[in-house]
Amino acid sequence: MSSSPSEHITILYFAAASTTLGITSETIPIPPQAHPFYLSQLKDLLVERHTQLKGQSVGQTLRRILDTSQWSIDAEMVDDGDDEEKLGRIEVRNGMEVGVICPVSGG
Amino acid sequence: MLPPDSSIEGVLEQPGGTCSILYTLDPIESITKRITDPRFGAIATFIGTTRNSFQGKVVTKLEYQAYTKLALKTISRIVDDARTQTPDFQAIVQHRIGVVPVGEPSIVIAVSAPHRKEAFQTCEFILEEVKRKAQIWKREYYEGEDESEAEWKSNV
């Protein structure tokens, strides 16, 4: 079963992620050939995308940032974000708002 | 660069606890007045202010941004967690976003509770948890360095 042609997710970037990419959000298509699409696949997708758009250096910096960041989906944290197996079971679906949550520094 | 669209002002009110993300914090007197409660004999407050140096470098300004809708949920849940230790208290937590000049407050936590021990402990608990978990980020700008090089800090 393939996804409909217009399935998209919104990625929110903050702090170092937004500074590196020069953007604070983007809406990207879920790859039609990768259905269902899981959260464990999102890092590679974003790194590939921004490597193509902005070059190796930006892509590598983004990967380093994503390696130390957590995810949020629809304004809820994904717990156990280090657990690749768990991320491999979380489906990313059309319309979701996914946040890249770098290490925080409030207070 | 403009801040994220999701880094906006917001308030989340619950019985006994109000959490806000604001460009300007309310005066401390108005905050303590709002949590004054005839049942409670103690008010503890914490104000976090921005320092002018970091590891020998002069800080010229700080900038905060938040994923506001998630940060407010997180801070409210922290206030709820505090109730497992102290069921009765009132709290106001305010965090600033945007540019905060050196020497100005970035966070205020005020807690009223029956006695001083509960007020101090609850205030400290909320502060430590907010620093650990709230989806808020601080960027420090140093004298003599290009603004584009300014670092986003981490509490870890």
pLDDT in tens, B42-95: 999 999 999 999 999 999 999 999 999 999 999 999 999 999 999 999 999 999
Nearest CA in chain A to B64: A106
* Structural domain total, chain A: 1
Residue A32 lies inside a defined structural domain of this protein: yes
Instruction: Pull the structure tokens for residue B113.
Output: 């509770």
CATH number for position A16? 3.10.20.30
> Residue A40 domain-assigned?
yes
**Which residue of chain A comes nearest to B1, CA vs CA?**
A22
In a domain, A64, yes or no: yes
On whether any CB of chain B is under 8 Å from the CB of A27, the answer is no
A3 occurs within a structural domain: no
* A14 to chain B: closest CA residue: B4
Q: Is B98 on the interface with A (CB under 8 A)?
A: no
Predicted TM-score (pTM) of the model is 0.95
Instruction: Give the per-residue pLDDT at A1.
Output: 53
Taking contacts as CB-CB distances below 8 angstroms, the residues of chain B near A70 are: none
Closest chain B residue to the Cα of A13, Cα to Cα? B4
Instruction: Residue A105: list chain B partners with CB under 8 A.
Output: 136-138, 152-155
Residues in a beta bridge with B3: none
- Give A77's contacts in chain B (Cβ within 8 Å): 70, 74
Min Cα–Cα distance to chain B from A94, Å = 20
Contact B12, B66 (CB under 8 A): no
Are A12 and B6 a contacting pair at CB < 8 A?
A: yes
Is residue A91 assigned to a domain? yes
What distances in angstroms separate CA A88 from CA A36, B30, B78, one per listed residue? 11, 49, 29
**ipTM for this model:** 0.94
C-beta atoms of B154 and A102 within 8 A: yes
Asked, for residue A12, whether it belongs to a domain, the answer is yes
Q: Tell me if B131 and A25 make a contact (CB, 8 A cut-off).
A: no
pLDDT of the residue at A80:
76
What's the rounded Cα separation, in Å, for the pair B88 and B112?
A: 9
Produce one character per residue of B31-66: b if its CB has 16 or more CB atoms within 10 Å, e if not. bbeebeeeebebbbbbebebeeeeeeeebbbbbbbb
Query: Does some domain include residue A2?
Result: no
Per-block mean pLDDT, blocks of 10 residues, chain A (107 long): 73 97 97 91 97 97 97 94 86 97 97
Query: Distance between CA B67 and CA B8 in Å, rounded?
Result: 8
Tell me, yes or no, whether A1 lies in a domain.
Answer: no
Distance of alpha carbon B58 from the chain centroid = 23
Domain, as residue range, for A77: 8-101
**Distance from A53 to chain B by nearest Cα, in Å?**
19
Which one of B67, B127, B154 has the shortest CB-CB distance to A105? Answer: B154
Cβ-Cβ contacts under 8 Å for A16 (sequence gap 6 or more): A65, A102, B152
